[in-house]
Amino acid sequence: MLNFTFQNPTHIHFGEGQISVLAKEVPLKARVLLVYGGGSIKANGVYQQVIDALSEHTYFEFSGIEPNPTYDTLMKAQDIIKRENIDYILAVGGGSVVDGAKFIAAAALYEGSSEGNDPWDILAKQQAVTKALPIGAVLTLPATGSESNGNSVVTRDGNKLPFSSPLVRPLFAVLDPNVTLSLSDRQISNGVVDAFIHTIEQYLTYSVNGKVQDRFSEGLLQTLIEEGPKALDPATKENLEVRANIMWSATMALNGLIGAGVPQDWSTHMIGHELTGAFGIDHARTLSIVLPAVMKVRKEQKREKLLQYASRVWQITEGDEDTRIDQAIRLTEEFFQQMQVPTRLSDVNLGSKDIDLLIERLEQHGMTALGEKSDITLAISREILTKAL
C-alpha cells in the first residue's frame, strides 16, 4: 500500500427529511448566498424545503448555474457577494451547482499572484487557492461526489478544466434520496455511470496490495451494477432503498476513501472532459465511451487488476486470462448499454475526423502524460479514441 494521509471532514446528513438540518448547520449570523441551477429545485419542492429551513437566516439567491458550469456564469455571482457582504455559500443541486459554488467561493477571496488576479488562473495555471468562503451543500443528483470532496470542474470557451483544494470541500452535505425521484432516466443513468467510473479510475490500475481499498471498490461497483438498472425499471425505480444505495455509493466513490493509498488513473476523465468541452456531450456519456477503449488499449498494463475485476466483480473464473479479461470488458459495455449510455464515438455521431481536435485540446491542456504511471502519451490517447470509434 502507498503512504497516505486521509481526512474527510464533511458532515453527511443522510435520509428523508434531512434538509431541515440546514436550520442548525448554517450559522445564524451568516450572510448566505443560496446558489442553484436552472430551476429543478423549484419544480420538485427542494427549494421550498430549503427556504423553510432558512426562515431565521439572512440569505440571497444566485441561480442559473448550468450543467458543466461556465466561468462566465459563475463570475456573475461576484457582484452580489460584494454588494451583500456574503460570507457563506449554500449550494443546492447536482455536481454542476456544487462545483460552481466551489469556484464562486474561491474566486470571491482570490488574491491573485504574479500572474495577475483573474480567478480563471486557479484552473488554467493551477494557482493555489489560499482562502475560500465556507460551503454547505444539498445534493439533488447522486453522481460526482462533489458534495464531500474538494474538486471542481469549470468550463470557459470550450476549455473544461479541473481544480482541487481542501478549502472548497463542503462543510456539510445533505443527502435525501427522496429528492432524486424527480430525476430523468438520463440523469439517473449518468449518475450511476459516473460513480462507477470514479471507482474504476481508483481501482483498475496496478496492485499495491491495498486490500481494504480494493474490496471497498469492488463493493461499490457491485452495488451500482445491482441497483443502477433498478432505478430505470418502472417496477422498482421509485424504491427509496434503491435510490439510497445509489446515492451513498456515489458519495463513497469519490470522497477520498477508496483512493487513499492506491494508484489512480483518471485518463478516462481527462479525455472525457475534452469530449464535453468540444462537443457538449454529458460528462458520464463521455466516460462510458472512453473507458472500454482504455481497458482494451491498456490491457497489458492493467492485466493483473483486470483479472481481479473479472473474478471479483463479474464472477468470471473460467477460461484463459485473455478470455476472462475480454469477457469482463464486454460485460462492462453491456452494463453501460443497460444503463442506456453510449459506448462508442459513433453512438454520439462522432468519427475519426473529430479525433485531431480532441488530441489538440489534450495537448493544449497539458494532458500529455495521463494514467497511473503518467505513461499515456498523446499517441496513446489517439489510440484510445480510435479504439472508441
Q: Please report, as ranges, the residues that interact with ligand NZQ according to CB under 6 A.
A: 37-41, 44, 67-68, 93-97, 99, 140-141, 143-146, 149, 151-153, 179-180, 182-183, 187, 190-191, 194, 254, 269, 283
d(CA 13, CA 22): 10
Give the number of C-alpha atoms closer than 13 A to the C-alpha of residue 143, restricted to the C-beta side: 25
C-alpha cell at 200: 474504476
For residue 106, which of 138, 71, 141 has the smallest C-alpha distance? 71
CB 160 within 8 A of CB 153: yes
Q: Does 147 bind Zn ion (CB under 5 A)?
A: no
| Interacting partner of 179 out of Zn ion, ligand NZQ, none (Cβ under 5 to 8 A depending on kind) | ligand NZQ
CA 129 vs CA 108, 150, 168, 217, 276: distances in Å: 11, 11, 9, 30, 25
Q: How far is the CB of 106 from Zn ion (least distance, A)?
A: 20
Q: How far is the CB of 102 from ligand NZQ (least distance, A)?
A: 7
| Interacting partner of 39 out of ligand NZQ, Zn ion, none (Cβ under 5 to 8 A depending on kind) | ligand NZQ
| Interacting partner of 95 out of ligand NZQ, Zn ion, none (Cβ under 5 to 8 A depending on kind) | ligand NZQ
Compare residues 295 and 310 and give the one whose CB is closer to ligand NZQ: 295
Alpha helices in 228-301 (DSSP H): 240-253, 267-279, 283-297
Compare residues 198 and 324 and give the one whose CB is closer to ligand NZQ: 198
Q: How far is the CB of 316 from Zn ion (least distance, A)?
A: 26
According to DSSP, residue 128 is labeled P
The continuous run of DSSP H or E covering 137 comes out as strand 135-139
CB 129 within 8 A of CB 177: no
Q: How far is the CB of 74 from ligand NZQ (least distance, A)?
A: 12
Beta-carbon contacts of 167 under 8 Å, excluding residues fewer than 6 positions away, are 106, 129, 130, 131, 132, 150
CB 91 within 8 A of CB 170: yes
C-alpha cell at 96: 454542476
Q: Does 194 bind Zn ion (CB under 5 A)?
A: yes
Compare residues 180 and 202 and give the one whose CB is closer to Zn ion: 202
For residue 283, which of 205, 193, 162 has the smallest C-alpha distance? 193
| Interacting partner of 37 out of Zn ion, ligand NZQ, none (Cβ under 5 to 8 A depending on kind) | ligand NZQ
| Interacting partner of 170 out of Zn ion, ligand NZQ, none (Cβ under 5 to 8 A depending on kind) | none
d(CA 214, CA 76): 42
Q: How far is the CB of 12 from ligand NZQ (least distance, A)?
A: 15
Q: How far is the CB of 227 from ligand NZQ (least distance, A)?
A: 17
Compare residues 44 and 78 and give the one whose CB is closer to ligand NZQ: 44
CB 89 within 8 A of CB 105: yes
d(CA 22, CA 54): 7
Compare residues 201 and 314 and give the one whose CB is closer to ligand NZQ: 201
Q: How far is the CB of 229 from ligand NZQ (least distance, A)?
A: 18
C-alpha distance across the termini of the chain, in Å = 36
| Interacting partner of 10 out of Zn ion, ligand NZQ, none (Cβ under 5 to 8 A depending on kind) | none
CB 305 within 8 A of CB 206: yes
Compare residues 198 and 305 and give the one whose CB is closer to Zn ion: 198
Q: For residue 156, what are the β-bridge partners?
A: 159
Compare residues 31 and 156 and give the one whose CB is closer to ligand NZQ: 156
| Interacting partner of 67 out of Zn ion, ligand NZQ, none (Cβ under 5 to 8 A depending on kind) | ligand NZQ
Compare residues 147 and 310 and give the one whose CB is closer to ligand NZQ: 147
Compare residues 176 and 194 and give the one whose CB is closer to Zn ion: 194
According to DSSP, residue 139 is labeled E
Q: Which of residues 294-353 bind Zn ion (CB under 5 A)?
A: none
Give the number of C-alpha atoms closer than 13 A to the C-alpha of residue 148, restricted to the C-beta side: 25
Q: How far is the CB of 204 from Zn ion (least distance, A)?
A: 15
Q: How far is the CB of 116 from ligand NZQ (least distance, A)?
A: 25
User: What residue ranges bind Zn ion (CB under 5 A)?
Assistant: 194
